């Protein structure tokens, strides 16, 4: 498997579970993933969201994507440090791709509209058939 397989999998299965840590307490929540390309895995949120503050304090995260198939499906886990991007063109793109965000009062100039990505890290796929085999780590 390659990073291209990871990009394809995440773009085709955009519901994911993102983990953060607050102090010594882990937190996981479901998110609607935005997109992936060769520059990273992209997300958007609002500055008032609790997990945004978790990531500001500790940018390490792991995200799990699941494809529901057969009995157990397949998963892709991605771990890395998030990078926050204050980029007007990206904010314009997210508002175009996800027009519902405008309903929250966000514009491309809104500092409360937060774009972040995981530009580097490790990923691995999981399927039941390989459950007890060593992970095949994909560095990106």
Fold of 3-139: Pnp Oxidase; Chain A (2.30.110)
pTM of the model: 0.94
55 and 22 Cβ atoms separated by less than 8 Å: no
Strand ranges across the sheet with 121-127:
25-32, 15-22, 60-67, 74-81, 121-127, 138-139
Beta bridge partners of 32: 15
Confidence of residue 69 (pLDDT cuts 50, 70, 90): confident
In the predicted model, what is the mean pLDDT of residues 126-133? 90
Average pLDDT score over residue span 113-129:
97
Please say whether the beta carbons of 63 and 78 come within 8 A.
yes
pLDDT digits (tens, 9 = 90+) for 24-57: 999 999 999 999 999 999 999 999 999 999 999 9
Residue range 12-23: mean pLDDT, rounded: 97
Domain residue ranges in the chain: 3-139
Decide if 59 contacts 82 (C-beta within 8 A): yes
- Classify 131 as helix, strand or coil: coil
């Amino acid at each position: 498997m390659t990073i291209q397989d990871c990009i394809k999998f995440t773009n085709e299965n955009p519901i994911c579970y993102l983990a953060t840590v607050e102090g010594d307490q882990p937190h996981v929540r479901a998110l609607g993933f935005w997109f992936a390309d060769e520059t990273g895995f992209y997300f958007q949120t609002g500055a008032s969201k609790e997990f945004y503050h978790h990531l500001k304090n500790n940018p390490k995260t792991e995200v799990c994507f699941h494809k529901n198939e057969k009995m157990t499906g397949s998963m892709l886990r991605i771990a890395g440090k998030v990078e926050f991007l204050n980029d007007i063109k990206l904010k314009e793109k997210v508002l175009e791709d996800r027009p519902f965000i405008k309903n929250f009062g966000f514009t491309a100039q809104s500092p409360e509209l937060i774009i972040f990505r995981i530009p580097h890290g490790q990923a691995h796929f999981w399927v039941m058939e390989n459950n007890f085999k060593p992970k095949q780590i994909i560095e990106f």
